[in-house]
Structure 1
Amino acid sequence: MLTYDSLADEPPLLKFYIFLGLIAYTWWLLSIALSVRPSWLHRFVGLPSIYGLHGVLGLLAVGAAYLHRDYSYSPSRLARTMGDWSFYGTLVVLCFSAFFMSGWFVDRSRFLLTVKGLLETVFRHQLSVWIHRLNLVIVAMIWLHAHLLVRVNQYFAFMALFDLYTVMTLGIYVWKKWIAPDTFLMGTVTSNDARGAATRRVSVGLDSKAATLRPGDFFFLSFEGSSSVSREWHPFSVTDDDRKTLTFTIRQHGNFTRRLDDVEVGTRVRLEGPFGRFESIIQGREREAPLVFVGMGAGVAPLLSLAAAHHTTRRIHLLWAVRSPEDAYYRDVLEEYQATSGNRLKVTISVGRFRREDIVSTLSTEAIAKGAFFIVGPNPAVLANQRLLRRIGVSARRIHQERLTM
């Protein structure tokens, strides 16, 4: 913007609307850069926050692009056509992604969640990912749109910056997604067992240790050698603290996870990560401050690894909600942790969700007043538990959550 402002002699009002177009374009580029899940950033703010910014940037960019489109003009018909196609294409992809790939709407409405479930028989996750990637085509059209405009393409310094930012961003994306796969961890499925009615426990033996793994972390997995499931990346939490053989407890809910039964022992797996901030949050708290872990179903997985790491040194109360008694498949593991914790670990297992009266009667007054709460589970259940905790007096800054879908 500064470069264009110093070079161009357009009327101030027209410059303003051109600036809005530049802002929208750079926000789209930043959104693409964030989508590669930069490892240097996620430890500071967490991957959910990165994804949240990714979505908000796309939404705000559409607003800026709308004003740019409606209040600026171009004598080039092709430039106008490219701009219009880009705007409407972005609007369609944004609406589609907000409904199918985020929880902004469906996690807060049972009706929309039901509609999404019905539509996902056609718009499956893999198709949704490729529709979302149409943003790359849209960026290419906007790039061409700018190159066709005489009022901008005549300034070499500006166009050099414009092209540099574009090439760098798309280069980072292509490199991360397709050219440099050997930077990921590799492993082999060593076991794949049923746990309860709709959960599987998948163990992956790594070719080399996960040196940066911390309790509570999760990985994105791609099953490379299986014809039963797609090779698209999916996030799963590590259940224990073994850095050589990683164990994942996976709820079979979507089209992808329902097919995990067919993943055979010996299947090669590519792993991206680890990701997660639970451990750094715990390390930032006083050692005697109580911790409360709230897991729903398979959401207990990262909480188990945190319990394994801290049950002898910190006061922990783990609340685990399951659908049926048979789904409490880690009861023996938790009992073992309790026995060796020196009365520091308490475990409460409930068939069905915890209600307000359950929380109040189960947790100590100190835990409610001073404890750090870690919630993991399906999106609607996490949101419901956050609201419940806020109503009983737990401040938002003491509530930390991770949802089972990204």
Structure 2
Amino acid sequence: MLRKLLFWSFAVVFPLPLILTYEFVATEPDLLKFYVFLGLIAYTWWLLSIVLSVRPAWLHRFVGLPAIYGLHGALGVLAIAAVYVHSDNSYSPSHLARILGDWGFYGALAVLCYSMFFMSGWFVDRSRLLLKVKGLLETVLRRQLSVWIHRLNLVIVAMIWLHAHLLVRVNQYFAFMMLFDLYTVTALGIYVWKKWIAPDTYLMGTVTSNETRGGATRRVSVGLDSKAATLRPGDFFFLSFEGSSSASREWHPFSVTDDNQKTLAFTIRQHGDFTRRLDNVEVGTRVRLEGPFGRFESIIQGRHREAPLVLVGMGAGVAPLLSLAAAHHTTRKIHLLWAVRSPEDAYYRDVIEEYQAASGNRMQATISVGRFRREDLANTLSAEAVAKGAFFIVGPNPAVLANQRLLRRIGVSARRIHQERLTM
């Protein structure tokens, strides 16, 4: 909690050098300065959002990707609010500056609305109607379009940067403009380095197998050129498939299914426009891997060794949970609950049985055809697990939220529930 508080407080500190510099050099009335401050806060928050979008590995290990994405989204919303007040109470004699400011605002608003509906899950995961509407629209709007729409933030930053340079009330102060440009160049430089230069330093591997599992799932194995030394149980990578035979060169997150650091196995449900084309990924296809990411193992290491681990997976969401089971089935009490659509989708039953047999009665598993209901959880979980266990839930967003609610209703504390949603 302290780490997340420090992380979120950085958003408050980040604009301060610009604000204090302008306060020191500017001679405008205080009210006008206030509206300029709002514009500066919004601009720096957009820059910070761009930096967060590259998923800094060190920051991920500090607070986790969910916290990074949470602040990324919150900054977008708060920046729009600040810009609205700024633009509604400011005036510039430069016609071009006004146009650029307005275009930047409406462009940012459009990107925010699109992201909140298609990418965040803030609304659609809590409404079946909106989820159906999203599914219908996604048959027309492919994920590649979402990626490029998100990159419009760079165009918006460029427009706001030029907008500021055209304003006499700010461009007359050399020291302030130097700091303003330093903010911009640093943020965009980090983005360019991470997106177009750093991939050459990522792990590389080759697809060694691509097999069907169940009705609509594939197991893709990638042999690495070098060992993934920092991989921990429960982690996931962002993958980019190279070559003309691949489904897409865009980055997509997938969880590792076991604890092998040399050959990584990914269990992927074919649901979206990208994953449906995974059949096209041939053995021998080269793969870039960004990561690993994940917080499950660090959470487990912070729990008492006798506290039970309850792993709740829906469909392909069992993948990272199996890697946790592989690492801990001989040393910790584990109860794995796996909900599948049909009996043929229980494609890891034999692996689970192997872990159980080797666990010395420490591990048990419950496989359900269909989602777990409240009475299922209440009857299946032991009193010790409900009172002391650490719960890890992985699956589609709506299913994760539903299971969180069910666990809370049977008495599981919210602070002991940890989740990973199969949407990024």
TM bracket, shorter-chain basis: over 0.9
1:268 matches 2:303:
no
Identity of aligned residues (%): 86
Specify which of 17, 24, 32 is matched with residue 42 of structure 2.
Answer: 24
- Name structure 2 gaps, 5 residues minimum: 1-18
Which one-letter code corresponds to 1:266 in the other structure?
Answer: G
SS in structure 2 at match of 1:292: strand
User: What is the rounded CA distance, in whole Å, between the counterparts of 2:248 and 2:331 in structure 1?
Assistant: 41
Corresponding residue of 1:401: 419
Which one-letter code corresponds to 2:147 in the other structure?
Answer: V
- Name structure 1 gaps, 5 residues minimum: none
Which one-letter code corresponds to 2:301 in the other structure?
Answer: Q
- Do the aligned residues in 1 keep the contact of 2:395 with 2:421 (CA within 8 Å)? yes
Corresponding residue of 2:151: 133
Task: Report how far residue 373 of structure 1 moved.
Answer: 0.3
**1:241-261 CA-partner distances (Å, limit 9, x unpaired):** 000000000000001000001
Matches within 5 A, 1:372-387: 372-387=390-405
User: What is the rounded CA distance, in whole Å, between the counterparts of 1:215 and 1:101 in structure 2?
Assistant: 26
User: What is the rounded CA distance, in whole Å, between the counterparts of 1:230 and 1:121 in structure 2?
Assistant: 16
SS in structure 1 at match of 2:120: coil
Matches within 5 A, 1:202-217: 202-217=220-235
1:71 matches 2:89:
yes
Which one-letter code corresponds to 1:352 in the other structure?
Answer: G
Matches within 5 A, 1:13-52: 13-52=31-70
Task: Report how far residue 228 of structure 1 moved.
Answer: 4.3
- Do the aligned residues in 1 keep the contact of 2:246 with 2:282 (CA within 8 Å)? no
SS in structure 2 at match of 1:180: helix
Specify which of 284, 298, 301 is matched with residue 319 of structure 2.
Answer: 301
Which one-letter code corresponds to 1:374 in the other structure?
Answer: F
User: What is the rounded CA distance, in whole Å, between the counterparts of 2:323 and 2:244 in structure 1?
Assistant: 28
Which one-letter code corresponds to 1:349 in the other structure?
Answer: I
User: What is the rounded CA distance, in whole Å, between the counterparts of 1:48 and 1:193 in structure 2?
Assistant: 30
Which one-letter code corresponds to 2:113 in the other structure?
Answer: C
Specify which of 187, 198, 215 is matched with residue 216 of structure 2.
Answer: 198
Corresponding residue of 1:251: 269
TM-score relative to the length of structure 1:
0.99
- Do the aligned residues in 2 keep the contact of 1:293 with 1:318 (CA within 8 Å)? yes
Question: Runs of 4+ in structure 1 displaced over 2 angstroms?
Answer: none
Which one-letter code corresponds to 2:349 in the other structure?
Answer: R
User: What is the rounded CA distance, in whole Å, between the counterparts of 1:405 and 1:4 in structure 2?
Assistant: 41
User: What is the rounded CA distance, in whole Å, between the counterparts of 1:250 and 1:71 in structure 2?
Assistant: 50
Specify which of 361, 379, 399 is matched with residue 361 of structure 1.
Answer: 379
User: What is the rounded CA distance, in whole Å, between the counterparts of 2:62 and 2:381 in structure 1?
Assistant: 30
Alignment RMSD (CA, Å): 0.7
Matches within 5 A, 1:5-404: 5-404=23-422
User: What is the rounded CA distance, in whole Å, between the counterparts of 1:351 and 1:186 in structure 2?
Assistant: 37
Task: Report how far residue 90 of structure 1 moved.
Answer: 0.5
- Do the aligned residues in 2 keep the contact of 1:295 with 1:319 (CA within 8 Å)? yes
* Range moving further from structure 2, 179-188 or 316-325: 179-188
User: What is the rounded CA distance, in whole Å, between the counterparts of 2:142 and 2:412 in structure 1?
Assistant: 38
User: What is the rounded CA distance, in whole Å, between the counterparts of 1:121 and 1:247 in structure 2?
Assistant: 28
- Do the aligned residues in 1 keep the contact of 2:335 with 2:364 (CA within 8 Å)? yes
Task: Report how far residue 393 of structure 1 moved.
Answer: 1.2
**1:144-174 CA-partner distances (Å, limit 9, x unpaired):** 0000000000001100000001000001001
